Amino acid sequence: MRSTPAITAPPCLFRLLAHTTALLALTLGFVSAAHADGLNYNVSIDTSSLVAGDSYFVDLQFNPGQLPGTQLAYASANIPTCCNIDGVGLIGDTNDGFGGGPTSISFDNQSPLNEGYIQLDVLANTPITFSFGISGPAVDTPNGTSLSGSTFSIGLFDPYFDPILTTNGILGQVNLNTNGTGTIQTSSSAITITDLNPPPPPPVVPEPSTLVLFGTGLTGALTLLRRRAKD
């Protein structure tokens, strides 16, 4: 019985196949995360209607919409440096960075209530300013199966923890959507939340000429394989 010789592709064919595969990956497989560097925001709260020298609470929360069913995400907020800080309290999946005093509060969204509140003395004609960011799998690589997103909220309360400026104390929030993007909402003109994130790149749509080039390369590779087999 005559044995069938093994088919060995020449090096040039391997190079052609490699180039064709690379072109396909670049053209059709280019998918970037919604925000690979996380979502980042600046916050400024106007204190002109508050009493200078009095103590107030800035309340920060990062809570899921539904558990289970919310993809993991993290949030981190800087402690305001504009005012005298009297203390920091934590509830839920939160922690702060001690070492000469807390400098930030970190959260995750895997408990129903994740809260950090900062007691501070308001200074005359000085807004309360700080920054925060949201990161983690729900931002970098949204799974597309989450049942709900999460919300980072910013509230302001008096020394007795009664709400001021709004009926529930919440001045504004950023909703983390299930596609990894953030949506800003404000309930008071006293707060400004500035989005520091560049818009995500538009989806790549292959041009017809690019698809023709890919098809030509693939056809050429198959033709060489057939000729090699006949030889």
In three-state form (DSSP H/G/I as H, E/B as E, the rest C), the secondary structure along 79-114 is: CCCCCEEEEEEEECCEEECCCCCCCEEEEECCCCCC
Q: What is the structure's pLDDT at 30?
A: 39
Classify residue 142: in a domain, yes or no.
Answer: yes
The structure tokens listed for 144 are 């597309």
Classify residue 212: in a domain, yes or no.
Answer: no
Classify residue 99: in a domain, yes or no.
Answer: yes
Mark the ranges of the chain whose per-residue pLDDT is less than 70. 1-36, 97-101, 200-231
Torsion angle defined by CA atoms of residues 183, 188, 189 and 190, in that order, rounded to the nearest 10 degrees: -110
- Can you give the residue range of the structural domain that contains 162? 40-195
Spacing of C-alpha 97 from chain mean position: 21
CB 163 within 8 A of CB 58: no
Classify residue 51: in a domain, yes or no.
Answer: yes
Q: How many separate domains does the chain show?
A: 1
Q: How much is the pTM?
A: 0.73
Q: Residue 84 is inside which H or E element, if any?
A: strand 84-91
Query: 139-178 pLDDT, tens per residue?
Result: 999 998 898 999 999 999 999 999 999 999 999 999 999 9
The DSSP call for residue 208 is: H
Classify residue 217: in a domain, yes or no.
Answer: no
Query: 175-207 pLDDT, tens per residue?
Result: 999 999 999 999 999 999 999 987 766 666 656
Classify residue 186: in a domain, yes or no.
Answer: yes
d(CA 214, CA 19): 9
Classify residue 117: in a domain, yes or no.
Answer: yes
The structure tokens listed for 211 are 């698809």
Q: What is the structure's pLDDT at 38?
A: 93
CB 23 within 8 A of CB 213: yes
d(CA 129, CA 193): 10
Q: What is the structure's pLDDT at 53?
A: 92
User: Count H helices, E strands: the chain?
Assistant: 3, 12
The structure tokens listed for 147 are 């049942």
Classify residue 21: in a domain, yes or no.
Answer: no
Q: What is the structure's pLDDT at 24?
A: 46
